[in-house]
Amino acid sequence: MPVPAGDARETRVSADIEAIATVVRNGGVIAYPTEAVFGLGCRPADAAAFERLLEIKNRDVGKGVIVITDDLSRVAHWLEPVPEAMQAMAEASWPGPHTWLWPARPACPDWLRGRHTRLAVRVTAHASVRALCSAAGSALVSTSANRSGAPPCRDTECVRRHFEGRVDGILDRPCGEAERPSSIRDMVTGAWIRGGPVAR
């Protein structure tokens, strides 16, 4: 019996995501679409992969990175308990293009936090990234796909031009419709670090 076109497309998408998920599980560095721009990523707990990612991007480890996930439970062991009102504020913005600086437990790898005491966390609404996290069984490091100081890539052509041969896999999917990278807000102080009412 012929396979309906829709089913074939979904099978192809799933196979592609599983292939990239395998790269992640095996300690690779990938490029993948997010809500607004392409990101470079790896398993957050993989120190060797993270070091490679920083070398590729030429990024200072002290700056820290965002960790993106499909479910907060994947990173909860790195997060300090916070008052219910604070947690509710973050969870009300998820899934979506909103990153929160959450107080980190001592167990949180210092390469993720950089020189900070908080971990930048986002529960994404991007369907392909959610599927990738699920398939990999892991959250992902998320730092924009660009060399430090250069504009971030917003399509696969740009990623291939700058990173093909340097990353271990590229998830060839479109970015979301957001015009700017995710907002970043400090959970404790309420201060907007990027985006939000202050920036507008």
Q: Is the pTM of this model over 0.85?
A: yes
Q: Kindly report which listed range (5-9, 130-134, 182-186) carries the lowest average pLDDT score.
A: 5-9
Residue predicted with more confidence, 150 or 94: 94
CB-side neighbour CA atoms (13 Å) of 17:
19
The rounded mean pLDDT for the chain is 90
Q: Residue 147 — pLDDT band, cuts 50, 70, 90?
A: confident
Q: What is the pLDDT of residue 171?
A: 96
Residue 125's φ and ψ, nearest 5 degrees, are: -100, 0
CB under 8 Å to 4, separation ≥6 — which residues? none
Pair type for strands 118-123 and 192-194:
unpaired
CA distance 136 to 118: 25
Residue 147 · residue 57 · CB < 8 Å: yes
pLDDT digits (tens, 9 = 90+) for 149-181: 789 999 999 999 999 999 999 999 999 988 788
Q: What is the pLDDT of residue 8?
A: 38
pLDDT digits (tens, 9 = 90+) for 15-29: 899 999 999 999 999
Q: What is the pLDDT of residue 197?
A: 57
The 3-state DSSP class for residue 179 equals: coil
Q: What is the pLDDT of residue 148?
A: 74
Q: Taking the domain 9-194, which CATH number applies?
A: 3.90.870.10
Q: Show me where the domains of the chain are located.
A: 9-194
83-89: long-range pairs with CB below 8 Å, 24+? 86/187, 86/188, 89/187
